[in-house]
Amino acid sequence: MLSVEDNELLTKVGPGSPMGDLLRRFWFPAMLEEEIAAPDSPPVKLRLLGEDLIAFKDTDGRIGILDAYCPHRRVHLYFGRNEECGLRCVYHGWKFDVDGNCVDMPSEPEETNFAHKVKQTSYPAVARGGMVWIYMGPKEKIPALPDFEWAYLPQMQRTSTKRLQQCNWAQAVEGGIDSSHISFLHSSTDAQFTANKNLPRRNKYLGIDRHPVFDVRDVDYGVLISARRNGEEDSYYWRITQCLMPFYQMIPPVVPEDDTSKASYTGHAWVPIDDENTWTWTFSANPHRDFTPKEAEISGGAGGMWGPIDENYRPVQNRDNNYMLDRVAQKNDTFTGISGIPNQDAAVQESMGPIVDRNREYLGQSDSAIIAWRRRIIEMAKNLSAGEEPAEAHHPEWYNVRSCSTLLRRDEDWQEGTAWLRAGGEVPKAAE
């Protein structure tokens, strides 16, 4: 459990809060590139870390993300005109470029230099990997973007999607790095498990051994999480999850039997909209080959394994309709009666309330990864308040890693046995 004070520190992300200050030291996804695909297209509303923002692409293709309210009379710039390399407020015509400079003030006399004294809050933004990334921290502290391998891959080898989640970001992260729940929340009923002889071998390990043994290690970029389950004969099945600060995760790939060397992998980022809402980002990538059309459809959004979602990126299965829970299916087919892994995750995480009271928890050995992440992220926030910058934000190369799952002999060290699978970049020739 956490103290009330530490839970408050963990969950509050608005301007001036210790955790909010920490998260602002990192680049993170703000929106999909497709949302502002064309120059001079309509501006788009954003809300991130408790701040209302407006995003637009100017005539030259540059991306601007500004404070949403015009500094003149605080009119929302969503109603503005995106034209001739700037966003113009429709109230009195003040116009701002992507850097927040007031470049035109037609309501004021021509001889005045008032426009040069007005500066709108703006945040650096970069397009990469199908996403628009934002940095909301001090300009003098701006780091390089994290070197996620998937963000550099050709378009046919990656997908990116987002979904609205109506709860605090921290409980979404904790759900993502909890490797023990997959044997329950995302499983079939015992009857279905026994009857289905064609389950992939990995699913059988998850169903047969439901109390994995965890080994959780602090590493440069975050927390390396291994979950060991009994395999066949003299082997263990290892599921290795990467938890990268502050809110990124890579989950083990869905492997066609044992072809671990050529598998696709998936990950998430849980970006706070405010204290009670989160953007759940999902990326999928195959560094070895293009996705097939079916693979791209399954991993790429609405209608796939992460969908469907509405025009506002809210899941169609949501708390208003109890995630379309089917009690008959729960009795006969699946553990939850809710279809879709992300909907199952959202159901339990949102059911905790907007911000869970961690002072009332009872954590067990299977929660060791959650305990490690909380300790790490809270310590980082406290250290920043004391003047120590987060090293993780300034080492982009630390983020070029992968997750994996594999069988190893019981006498084999899991870190040595999975090192080549967890390495980013090209697969070592010796391991091919």
Mean pLDDT for 235-242 is 91
Pair (57, 184) in one structural domain: no
- Contacts (Cβ under 8 Å, ≥6 apart) of 416: none
pLDDT tens per residue, range 357-388: 999 999 988 889 999 999 999 999 999 999 99
Is 343 a member of any domain?
yes
Is 14 a member of any domain?
no
Pair (172, 254) in one structural domain: yes
DSSP assignment of 264-309 equals: -EEEEEEEEEETTEEEEEEEEE-TTSPPPHHHHHHHSSTTSTT--B
Q: Which CATH number fits the domain that encloses residue 32? A: 2.102.10.10
pLDDT tens per residue, range 255-291: 544 555 577 888 999 999 999 999 999 998 888 889 8
Q: Of 107, 141, 175, at which residue does a domain stop?
A: 141
Q: Which amino acid is at 197?
A: K
pLDDT grade for 115, boundaries at 50, 70 and 90: confident
The pTM for the full model equals 0.91
Q: Of 141, 172, 198, at which residue does a domain stop?
A: 141
User: How much of the chain is helix, strand and coil, in % rounded to 5?
Assistant: 30, 25, 40
Is 134 a member of any domain?
yes
Average confidence score pLDDT of the chain: 89
Q: Which amino acid is at 78?
A: Y
Pair (158, 45) in one structural domain: no
pLDDT tens per residue, range 123-172: 999 999 999 999 999 999 999 999 999 999 999 999 999 999 999 999 99
Task: Please name the residue that has the structure tokens 């291994």.
Answer: 226
pLDDT of residue 313: 94
CA distances from 222 to 49, 278, 313, 383 (A): 21, 21, 29, 15
**What range does the domain containing 216 cover?**
149-427
pLDDT above 90 for 429? no
Pair (64, 110) in one structural domain: yes
Q: How many whole angstroms separate alpha carbon 402 and alpha carbon 423? A: 6
Mean pLDDT for 17-31 is 98
Pair (71, 192) in one structural domain: no
Q: How many whole angstroms separate alpha carbon 86 and alpha carbon 64? A: 9
Torsion sign, CA atoms 304, 310, 315, 316 = negative
pLDDT tens per residue, range 290-339: 988 888 877 765 445 566 899 999 999 999 999 999 999 999 988 899 98
Q: Of 114, 141, 168, at which residue does a domain stop?
A: 141
Mean pLDDT for 77-98 is 97
pLDDT of residue 179: 77
Task: Please name the residue that has the structure tokens 């008032």.
Answer: 114
